[in-house]
Amino acid sequence: MDFQSIFPVWNKLNAIQKNRILGGLITRKVKKGTLIHNGSMDCTGLLLVKSGQLRAYILSDEGREITIYRLFDMDMCLFSASCMMRSIQFEVTIKAEKDTELWVIPAEIYKSIMEESAPVANYTNELMAARFSDVMWLMEQVMWKSLDKRVAAFLLEESTIEGTNELKITHETIANHLGSHREVITRMLRYFQNEGLVQLSRGTIEILDAHKLAQLGKDQ
């Protein structure tokens, strides 16, 4: 799997544009926990995930985190090049959730091609719209959906991603994803355990009743 086969509008670029991208393209291999993009302090460039998993999140003034989306194989991140987008005014931090291999297109190269190529500009606008849709969905969840539903939905999502009902995840990590506090998540998980939905042990949450969790996680 090479960059040319994954980049969505590769075949709509001319030879000069293709050479410009390949000439500046950076390949990175990062370990789990590596900080890849640090808000407005960086203009990393566009990220295209070859393999692995990244997490994009925002930080409150008090230092609380909340995940806005996650990136998997063949996903592209635009917010890591926010310096070239005047409309992006909030700071996004990106960290590797798993060992990850990715490509970076430097922001100045991508911006110059976007200004020349209508297909690239259109694709960029579509990607930006999709990401802002993710953010709007998140705001709706935080504002209108109770925490028990959000925790239930998160556990099921995590189970699907990992392909197992035995999740190696801490209460602190869940709190960071959902913009909550560890103590609040711990109380909620203990309630789930008392209801027979999960089994808790150190560093592990085992889902015992996915059906009931799904019912709980549904919007009412």
Q: Are residues 163 and 184 in the same domain?
A: yes
What average pLDDT does the segment 36-57 reach?
A: 88
Model confidence pLDDT, tens digit, residues 5-39: 999 999 999 999 999 999 999 999 999 999 998 87
77 pLDDT higher than 60? yes
Single-letter residue type at 158: E
Q: Residue 88: its pLDDT value, please? A: 61
Q: Are residues 130 and 71 in the same domain?
A: yes
Q: Are residues 153 and 185 in the same domain?
A: yes
Going by pLDDT thresholds of 50, 70 and 90, the confidence category of residue 82 is: confident
Q: Helices 107-116 and 118-144 meet at what angle, rounded to 10?
A: 120
Q: Residue 45: its pLDDT value, please? A: 87
Q: Closest Cα partner for 54 from 76, 87, 23, 24?
A: 76
Q: Name the domain count of the chain.
A: 2
In terms of residue numbers, what domain contains 8?
Answer: 3-143
**CATH number assigned to the domain comprising residue 155:** 1.10.10.10
Going by pLDDT thresholds of 50, 70 and 90, the confidence category of residue 89 is: low
Q: Residue 64: its pLDDT value, please? A: 86
Element (H, E) at 194: helix 182-194
CA angle 136/70/208 to nearest 5° reads 100
What average pLDDT does the segment 136-140 reach?
A: 85
Enter the pTM of the model: 0.82
Q: Name residue, tokens 């310096």.
A: 83
Q: Are residues 104 and 160 in the same domain?
A: no
Q: Residue 76: its pLDDT value, please? A: 92
Going by pLDDT thresholds of 50, 70 and 90, the confidence category of residue 198 is: very high
Q: What is the DSSP letter of 90?
A: S
Q: Are residues 13 and 104 in the same domain?
A: yes
Q: How far is CA 30 from CA 25, 103, 114, 159, in A?
A: 16, 11, 27, 24
Mean confidence (pLDDT) of the chain: 90
Model confidence pLDDT, tens digit, residues 159-181: 999 999 999 999 999 999 999 99
Q: Residue 71: its pLDDT value, please? A: 95
CA pair distance 112, 137, nearest whole angstrom: 31
Question: Hey, what are 55's tokens?
Answer: 């997490």
CA pair distance 97, 183, nearest whole angstrom: 22
Beta bridge pairs of residue 26: 104
Q: Residue 62: its pLDDT value, please? A: 81
